[in-house]
Structure formats: C-alpha cells, structure tokens
Amino acid sequence: MDPEIQQASDALRASDPDLQEEDTIRSTNVGGCPFAHHHHHGNSSSSSSSSKEEPSPYQFIPLHSGSHKSTESTKRLMQEEISFDDLKKMTNNFYQLAFKDHTLDKFIRSRDDPHADRFAKWIHQKMAGSDLWDQDRETRDLTPVTIANDRVAIVRDRTSAHIAAWFSPKRSPDQVGRRFQLDECRVWMRLHFWAMRQAGLVEKSPTFADYYVRFIGHFVAVYEKTARKFARESFRWSADPKNTEAYILNGRIMKDVLGVKHTEAKATLPEEEVDYQWPHHQ
C-alpha cells in the first residue's frame, strides 16, 4: 500500500475505538448455525411493525460513551419498529441526494458501488447486533481501485472507505488527502437527516429518530470532533422545506455552511446545544 495511504489509515483507525473494533469480522457461520445470517436478515426485513400505520410511542434510549454497543433497547427497536428495508430506503435516499450535492459527490469515487446497501447493513449491525455488515465484508470484491494520482487502494471496511474518499480522484489536487472538515460534515448530516425524513422514519418511529440523531452525533466525531454538536441543528434544518428548497435553488450548495469555521458556527447554536457531553449523557 502507498505509504501516505497507509499512514492515513493507521492514524484514523488508531483514533477511534469503534474503528478498531470493526477490524474483526464476526462470522456467525463458523462453528454455528449455517443459516444465522439469513435469520438476521429475515427478521430485519420483515419487522412486525412494517405494516403499522400508527407510530410507536416515543421512548428514550440512552447512548453510552466508548465504542457503540447494541443494547436490548436498540435490538427491540430494530425488531419491532424499524426494518432493514426502512434503513435501505433511508440510505438509498441519502446517496441520491449525495450524488447531486456539489460538496459530497467529490468524495464518492464511483457511484456504481453498493454504497446504500453497505451503509444500511452497517447501521443494522450496530443497532440490532446482527452480522449483516460483517457478512457483506466477507464476500466483498477486494479488487484494488484507483484513487487520486493513479494510486490504488482496497476498500474493505469503514476506515478504508473513508480513506478512499479523502483521496478521491474527483477532488481538486490541493484537497486530495485532506480529511473531512466541519462544514463538510454538516452538509453530510443535513442531507442524511433529510433522507431519513423522506423515508418516513421520523413519523414511523420517534424513538428511532431521536436515537439516530445521537447515533450520528457519536460517529461523526471520528471524522471531525467539533461536528458532533451540530447534529441537532442539522436535524432541524432538514425539517424546513424552505431550507431544502433554497439549497436546491442554490445549485445544491449549502452557502450558509461551507467555509464557516467552528467559532462562527458555534455562535449560531442554542446555548443548551453547546454541550460537550452530548450525545452520551442521560
């Protein structure tokens, strides 16, 4: 592997316990039920709530610090309120938005990769304790892909996927290799929460929506630690059609976010959201 790519990969992985934990593929098919993977997938795709019209009542689910662990509450959420198909709808919506976005599309080396499917499997594994994402990684095509400056990389997990994004050949030469900045993370979160709303998940499960905003706040910090506190603002932004309409009219460029530094951006937040313990406190 190219030394610069290896160094970036090692540094990113070393900075985050979730990425370190993801180094190991948990194969449930070794020494266990040969249908374990299909069992998980079946439950996730046919949640008992998938035909419900009324939203489930809201319940607060704590999100603990350290590496993320599924709990009985998050597993129940995936069993009873949100299906794998729901997650796929959300992630498909997100990538359709990202492909058109002036900022995010530059990070996406190829639109042909199954981004949405992998993202949905990763979310499901994190929240349901399934093995969908691990099973996907076991069968993933590990053919090296070309990134910026004719270098190659193998995309096998979340760390390598984000390194490939930093070194995307679609980025300008002066930005190749630069990790995600605060403004880019805010664009990502705004579009992602918009995709969640488009999929109807906020109405379907207020419990999921509340937990998921905090879930994203937890994970976005590995890419830019100051981005965490803007998750709630991003969720609010996605609720107002005036915001999304203005964004489209501006050529899908978030002019109110791009180039805005942390100090200036933080000044626009409600005082209660300048909270360095969120999203992990009770």
CA–CA gap between residue 92 and residue 170 (Å, rounded):
21
Q: What is the pLDDT of residues 3-14, one digit of tens each?
A: 777 787 788 777
Contact yes or no for 56/201 (Cβ under 8 A): no
Given this model, what pLDDT does residue 38 score? Answer: 35
**Phi, psi (deg, nearest 5) at residue 152:** -125, 155
CA–CA gap between residue 18 and residue 223 (Å, rounded):
12
CA–CA gap between residue 8 and residue 19 (Å, rounded):
13
DSSP class per residue in the chain: --HHHHHHHHHHHHT-HHHHHTTS---TTSSS-TTHHHHHHHHHHT-TTTT--SPPPP------SSS----HHHHHHHHHT--HHHHHHHHHHHHHHHHH-TTGGGG-S-TTS-HHHHHHHHHHHHHH---HHHHHHHT-----EE-GGG-EE---SHHHHHHHHHT-TTS-TTTTTPPPPHHHHHHHHHHHHHHHHHTTHHHH-HHHHHHHHHHHHHHHTTT-GGGGGGHHHHHHHTT-HHHHHHHHHTTS--TTTTT--HHHHHTTS-GGG--SSTTS--
Domain segments of the chain as ranges: 3-19+69-273
Contact yes or no for 80/56 (Cβ under 8 A): yes
Given this model, what pLDDT does residue 230 score? Answer: 98
CA–CA gap between residue 186 and residue 194 (Å, rounded):
12
Q: What is the pLDDT of residues 45-96, one digit of tens each?
A: 434 344 446 778 999 999 998 899 999 999 999 999 999 999 999 999 999 9
- In DSSP terms, 152 is beta-bridged to 146
User: Per-residue pLDDT for 158 more than 70?
Assistant: yes
User: Per-residue pLDDT for 281 more than 80?
Assistant: no
Bigger pLDDT: 277 vs 19: 277
- In DSSP terms, 153 is beta-bridged to 145
pTM of the model: 0.86
Greatest mean pLDDT range, 26-40, 50-64, 216-230: 216-230
